[in-house]
Amino acid sequence: MSLILIDDLAYRASERSRTFTLALSGVVLQALNGLESAQRSAKKMFAERSESLFVSHFFNEQEHLSKGSATIAAVAYSDAMISLDRDDQFSEDDSLNSHVAEVVEQVNQSLTAQVHRDYNQAKKALRDVSLQVDMMTRSRGWKRSAALIAIRQQNSQEIKFSFKDRSGRSWASDKYTYTLLRSHYLSIYNEVYLYALTQGKIEVAHVKHEDANHKHNGLRFSIAPSETNESDYFSIAPSVFHPNSRALVSRL
């Protein structure tokens, strides 16, 4: 059930990202149509509408991230307490609350950066076409409408809203958002769950995979680095709990 919730929160975030970029594309198209006659008013319209979309999406995502993270943390803490046969409340643990807040702030920075990239990409798309229209009208003496038609025929009107990782791989914005948020919620669940287990003096936990026959299912690990050679959570997390992982931590 927890994996379903994590999937759903990440999917909804990716859909909101897609809606945002589609709306930006629509505003760019409206502005391009206006370039034929009134360039200044078209750019002003774009600036006003795109900024309104940006502000609305920006604050909306912050709220969704905060609420989603709180929900996952509460579920993880509750699951851990059930395994310990205790009824402690997550909201009562200041140290854990502080940790979650710091993790949320970190992922919020990445999410905010992508929203800015999308917004700037839309502005660049309009700016580039506007410059090309100006160049063609000045150098060839064409009417603005003819120049705009020629540019549209030569270039795809689809704006590539994306994120480029360190390896140079390009991700569509909605896919990047899904991956970023799913990894975040997965980490929140696991870290809160394990932290809660330590309140019961538990030192080891296991991997619980959706597929009982998966090689990682049942893998035992130390919750925190230990003096033994046993793997700990932080050493196995990158390979076991990657963004597409179908596994969570479990006491048993």
Q: In the numeric block, which tokens belong to residue 174? A: 């909605």
At residue 147, the pLDDT reads 82
pLDDT at 157 over 70: no
pLDDT at 19 over 70: yes
CA-CA distances (angstroms) from residue 95 to 36, 37, 102? 59, 60, 11
Measured between alpha carbons, how far is 241 from 252 in angstroms, rounded to an integer?
A: 17
33 band by pLDDT with thresholds 50, 70 and 90: confident
pLDDT at 90 over 80: no
Measured between alpha carbons, how far is 129 from 151 in angstroms, rounded to an integer?
A: 8
151 band by pLDDT with thresholds 50, 70 and 90: confident
Residue 107 CA to chain centroid, in angstroms? Answer: 8
Measured between alpha carbons, how far is 33 from 49 in angstroms, rounded to an integer?
A: 15
Contact 233, 190 (CB under 8 A): yes
Q: In the numeric block, which tokens belong to residue 240? A: 């076991």
pLDDT at 71 over 70: yes
Q: Structure pTM?
A: 0.92
Kindly report the average pLDDT of the chain as a whole number: 92
Measured between alpha carbons, how far is 218 from 239 in angstroms, rounded to an integer?
A: 15
Mean pLDDT check: name the lowest of 40-44, 147-151, 198-202, 225-229: 225-229
At residue 130, the pLDDT reads 86
